[in-house]
Amino acid sequence: MKHTQMPIHVIGLGVNQVAHLDEAAQAVLASLSPNDIVLGAPRQHDTIGQYVHQGQREDLPKLKELKESFVQWQSQGAKQVVVLASGDPLYYGIGAWLMRNFSLENLHFYPNVSSIQVACHRLGLSLQDVQAVSLHGRPLASLRRHLQSNKTLVLLTDQHSQPKHIAEECVKAGLDQSEITVCEALGYPQEKVRTFASGVLIEGELEFDPLNVIVLKTSQQTSLYPSSVGIPDASFVTDKGDGKGMITKREVRLAILSYMNIEQGDTVWDIGAGCGGVSVEMAYWHPRSQIIAIEHHPDRLACLTANRDRFGVMQNLSIVAGRAPEVLMDLLARNDEEHGKPNKVFIGGSDGELSVLMAQVWDLLPAGGSLMVSAVTEETKYQVMQFAQQRDEAQDAVEQGLQVSIAKGERLAGQRLFRPSLPVALAHFTKHVTQKTTKTNYKENAQ
């Protein structure tokens, strides 16, 4: 759809019962012909009632249907389309979707203030001191990754994230003393701004205008959700309870996270994810990276799903039920945003297929991509060593290796002791272009 030549004007309406549009936006509306389209929700159409235009009024459909609507309007003679947007179109608005589906050359934006800005001004909050979080059209549980102590969050809400729901999440996180301010119907005559303690909202049956923005000031209490890497093992749901099941232990997990060095926009496969310790931490700390956890054992899959929900990382942690390496080909065949080709891979469990997995993954990785493998048994350590030797011969990798031996303090008969865990060998390989290929490129450049 990016090739369409039809201008699309995206007009921000601000936060008012009656929109206040600048001269450029007014001129766009005045220029519309009867074949042109004005697209928006019923409430948005009402806010521009004082601006006369000849365009056809269309209600905003679901986004998956909207693509076809643009094609249909153009075929029916529309020369331009106006999209009405609440607040600021490019701040948690429809502008991001339009940018993904159309070329910037065809898009013209007319910004206005957002409800987040207005809520902050009502409360005297500086935008740089708050964190905006959209729960609109997103799972309520996705709030959990933001519920740490001493934070100010401004929440865009929907029917599933109303004040009582937010209060319940605060209590579950151990932040029951948090302060919730509900900004209702901003810019309308019935506007209200009211502040409550989390406990009051849970116990009461207060009613709120569904058009609201919530400002959440979390308390100083210790939150269930971490604010630094290294989630305690006991915080995870595991197949043996108390963090003792199939989960990479905290200290080893810290080393893995450090060496993998996940960047914004990475696509990471966690093969043999077990109960999800590594996958959850990668997704939790890197919300703009896509993490795909691959696991086949039913009990571990159930724990993995529970941990994804517990820590609110369902938006960027996808779970694939299946056994590697067979399921990997299915993943590549989909080749979509959710299950794309990886640039980083961690193999935490191989089910006897480690050599095959390492070879297959290495072929998939782009230059600069990386593979990290953990090994506990002597057999798997030997297979990793063989793979490392292959990389030496091919001269196509930078290798880093370490062995982590952990002994945790316990008490036995009232006496302190350190109980050792099995040592874990970790190998990290970063892929680069082979010397042979590099020399060929130099020759080509010289010619």
**3-class DSSP string for 379-432:** HHHHHHHHHHHHHHHHCCEEEEEEEECCEEEEEECCEEEEEECCCEEEEEEEEC
Identical topology for domains 117-217 and 233-438: no
CATH class of this structure's domain 233-438: alpha beta
User: Taking 70 as the threshold, does the pLDDT of residue 173 lie above it?
Assistant: yes
pLDDT band at 124 (very low <50, low <70, confident <90, very high): very high
Kindly report the average pLDDT of the chain as a whole number: 91
| Arithmetic mean of pLDDT, 13-34 | 95
Band of the pLDDT at 183, cuts 50, 70, 90? very high
Residue pLDDT, tens place only, 300-355:
999 999 999 999 999 999 999 999 988 988 888 775 545 568 999 999 988 888 99
Q: What does pTM read for this prediction?
A: 0.87
Q: Is the pLDDT of residue 439 over 50?
A: no
Question: Could you tell me whether strands 8-12 and 81-85 are parallel, antiparallel, or unpaired per DSSP bridges?
Answer: parallel
Domain ranges of the chain: 8-113, 117-217, 233-438
What topology is assigned to 117-217 in CATH? Answer: 3.30.950
Classify domain 8-113 at the CATH class level: alpha beta
Query: Which pLDDT score, from 0 to 100, does residue 338 have?
Result: 52
The answer to whether residue 429 scores a pLDDT higher than 70 is: yes
The per-residue pLDDT for range 341-386, each reduced to its tens digit, is: 899 999 998 888 899 999 999 999 999 999 999 999 999 999 999 9
Share of the chain above pLDDT 90, in %: 80
Interval 146-151 mean pLDDT: 97
